[in-house]
A and B are shown apart, each in its own frame.
Chain A
Amino acid sequence: MGDAVKLSGAQVAPDAWIEGVESAEFKTLIDAKQRSIMPMIVIYMVGYMSLSILAGFGRGILGTKVLGAVNLGFVLIAGNYIMSWVLAVVYARISANRHDPLVKVVVDKAHATGGAR
């Protein structure tokens, strides 16, 4: 690697710390995170990009009147606000209730084995 540079404030050793990474607890954490985060990413990306694509190529569809003068476009825009807020609350709850306890297990074990500070 030649020109390895020390970061301000962070101690890094390239060969340190294989035990923590390969522990069963850490794999459980990664699996739990992927299972909850991946579907959320798909939901908001599909939800928002469909709105953007329809705004470009489905202008007539978005112009369909839904509620008085308000058309489908504005309803979908409102839907994107609600989607973002719901995802925010759901993610906050899942990570506090499920991910954070798993992180704590991994970190405690890391400290116990003396591999990190």
Chain B
Amino acid sequence: MNLITVAMFAGILLISLGITAWAARRTRTTVDFYAAGKGLTAAQNGFALAGDWCSAAAFLGFTGLTALYGMDGALYAVGPLVAFCTVLLLIAEPLRNTGTYTIGDVIMYRMRQPPALAAAIVGTIVINLAYLIPQMAGAGVLIKLLFGFRYDVSVMLVGLGMIVYVAAGGMLATSWVQIIKAVLMLGAGAVVLFLALAGVGFDPLVFFASAEAKAGPNFLLPGNLLKNPFDEVSLGLGYMLGLAGLPHVMTRFYTVPDATTARRSVIWVMFLAGAFFACTTIFGVAAVHYLGPEALRVGNPGGNLTLPLLAQYLGGGKDTVGGQLILGFVSAVAVATILAVVAGLTLATSGAVANDLYVNLFRKGKVEEHQQVVVARITAVLVGVVATLLGILAEGVNVAVLVILAICIAASANFPVLVLSLFWRRFNTGGVVGGMALGLISSVGLALIGPAYLGSNAIWPLVNPTVVALPLGILGAVLGSLLAGRDHEHEKRFGEVTFRIQTGVRSSRS
């Protein structure tokens, strides 16, 4: 156990709990609980978005993938930035103008029929659980490694932390935990980048030449990780459109006062997270340069320990104070990252269960305000407990398939439904149900018979089925709309919907 890591992590945890206590006193209404009172600034929401979007998979994963597989790792890192172009140009402002707390709100505002809302709820819950379980499992492994606790104890500790953040402090606490984590993560990144570049006279080209010399002539080519060419295309499509369908990131746009601020917060995250993603590529090739490819393959599953190992080396090495200090810092930030991301996911899932399912679908909106807050808090605890149990059960199970699945469903089911709801006059409840069903079934079905789950026994060749599931999702949405028949009242209302999407002004003659 590294005492410096423990001390730093304890420090981060204490600050987070202090924030939660502060936020809990300010969280009285549903707007406070789900949307931080809609009072965040563009910069604050931009940092929080960076916190949400730079999960441990990004922070540790992209660096490791680049170090082990060369260009494929860099391709993994650039997609998440391009994904924000879709969010910026198509989604952020319309979402802020039409919804209140959840993606389900937007679908319900447009369709006003329970089956459409039900489909949106299923999409949100499946995506969030697929995203949550690997995060919980990853947190269990990391904490076990760092502190020496048992796996199930480690997962329970993470679960307890996230339940406290979310149930007590709602979106306000979750946002500030994300902001602090983002600042620490960017700070750690800047330190590692500076030290890495200082070793080569600030010429990153040295890393590429050295990495190619040490890891072989194919290292800088694509295809080392994703052998099947269609998997590269799936990766691109999944990222480009999937982010805009991820509920825990999209609900962030409800925390700002208006569409203009939502837009400015996207600009913030594009520079903050984008710069960080670019750095992971540099870190990856720098790790090969400094540590050599053989050292990176030992006891480093999936390459996830590459960044901590690089940080330790740059700090002076294994047995130096500098090496221990920087390793401790990077590890503590990694744990804080997981904790913050699972908190965001728990909150978004609670929104789908408490606000969409209970309040809007079961009770048709007829729930007192103070009761809604109580229901939301209880739901957060329940979702947290379920996620913790699933995380414990996931020990030893191949959960890699779930990460791919989350992005694939987001791109193939949620994204078409969301975009068509906002921009297609003829889109209707039949389309929502058709798109969600076909997108979901094809994503889950193909991922489960593919190599990510079945390994070498796979029936289907692609790890990531987005390249097939996305067209099927769109097809389901279009066919569902056409088969449901025309509803002229519904289509006439589209003008009003467009007006609200563009201006945020609601009609009020009722």
Please give the residue numbers on chain A whose beta carbons come within 8 Å of chain B beta carbons, in ascending order.
1-18, 20-22, 26, 29-30, 33, 37, 40-41, 44-45, 48-49, 51-57, 59, 62-63, 67-71, 73-74, 77-78, 80-81, 83-85, 87-89, 91-92, 95-96, 100, 103, 106-107, 110-111, 115-117
Contacts and interface: CB of A to CB of B under 8 A. Distances in A.
A15 B152 CA distance: 56
A110 B117 CA distance: 30
Contact of B510 (A2, A12, A44, A111): A12
Contacts of A9: 30-31, 100
Contacts of A106: 502-503
A84 B274 contact: yes
Main secondary structure of the interface of A (DSSP, over half): helix
A17 B507 CA distance: 6
Contacts of A69: 205, 208-209, 211-212, 220
Nearest to A81: B278
A52 B355 contact: no
B74 A11 contact: no
Contacts of B74: 73-74, 77
Given A89-B267, A116-B508, A29 B502 contact: yes
Nearest to A52: B236
Given A8-B105, A55-B71, A84-B82, A22 B495 contact: yes
Chain B interface size range: 35 or more
Contacts of B220: 63, 69-71, 73-74
B109 A10 contact: yes
A94 to B, nearest CB: 11
A51 B78 CA distance: 10
Given A13-B510, A116-B508, 19 more contacts: A1-B489, A4-B113, A6-B365, A16-B496, A17-B499, A17-B507, A37-B89, A41-B90, A49-B233, A56-B228, A62-B222, A70-B205, A85-B274, A87-B85, A88-B88, A88-B266, A92-B264, A103-B503, A111-B505
Contacts of B361: 5
Contacts of B486: none
A10 B506 contact: yes
A11 B499 CA distance: 14
Contacts of B113: 1-5
B32 interface: no
B231 interface: yes
Contacts of B493: 14
A89 B499 CA distance: 26
Given A44-B82, A44-B85, A71-B220, A10 B503 contact: no
Contacts of A71: 71, 220-221
Contact of B267 (A14, A52, A92, A115): A92
Contacts of A78: 278
B451 to A, nearest CB: 16
Contacts of B231: 56
Interface in B238-276: 240, 260, 263-264, 266-267, 270-271, 274
